[in-house]
Amino acid sequence: MRNETPWRWVSIEGMPEDAEGWALAGQAELESEWARLRAGLKTDEAKERFVQGWLRERNRAFAIETGQIEGLYTLRRGVTEQLVAEGLGGVVGAHTYESLDDTTIRGLLADQEAALGMVFTDVASGRALSESMIKSWHQLLTRHQETVTGLDPMGRHVAVPFVTKGRWKIRPNNPRRQDGHVHEYCPPEQVPPEMERLLALYEDIAGRNYPVNVEAAWLHHRFVRTHPFQDGNGRVSRLLMAWAYLKRSLPPPVIAAVQKPAYIDALEAADEGDLKAFSDHIGYLALASLNDANRLARHSLEGRLNRPNGNGGRTVGDTYLPPLDSP
At 1, is the pLDDT very low, low, confident or very high (cuts 50, 70, 90)? very low
Task: State yes or no: pLDDT of 31 exceeds 60.
Answer: yes
**CA distances in angstroms from 224 to 230, 268, 293, listed in the order given:** 11, 11, 29
Identify whether 26 is part of a domain. yes
The answer to the question of residue 319 being in a domain is no
* Structural contact between residues 194 and 222, judged by C-beta atoms closer than 8 angstroms: no
Q: Is 127 domain-assigned?
A: yes
Q: Encode pLDDT of 163-191 as tens digits.
A: 899 999 999 888 776 666 777 899 999 99
Check whether 57 has a pLDDT greater than 60: yes
Assess whether pLDDT exceeds 50 at residue 3: no
pLDDT tier at 116, thresholds 50, 70, 90: very high
- Alpha-carbon distance of 202 to 156, in angstroms, equals 38
More confident residue, 87 or 153: 87
Share of residues in the chain with pLDDT > 90 (%): 85
What does the angle CA 281 – CA 8 – CA 258 come to, to the nearest 5 degrees? Answer: 30
Which domain CATH number covers 127?
1.10.3290.10
In a domain? residue 61: yes
Report the domain count for the chain: 1
Gyration radius of the chain's alpha carbons? 20
Q: Is residue 324 part of a domain?
A: no
Is residue 14 assigned to a domain?
no
pLDDT band at 149 (very low <50, low <70, confident <90, very high): low
In a domain, 164, yes or no: yes
Range of the domain at 151: 19-311
- pLDDT of 148 reads 76
Report pLDDT digits (tens) over 127-143.
999 999 999 999 999 99
Report whether pLDDT(151) > 70: no
pLDDT band per the 50, 70, 90 thresholds, residue 214: very high
Please check the confidence at residue 216 and state whether its pLDDT lies above 60.
Answer: yes
What's the CA gap between 137 and 114, in Å, rounded? 9
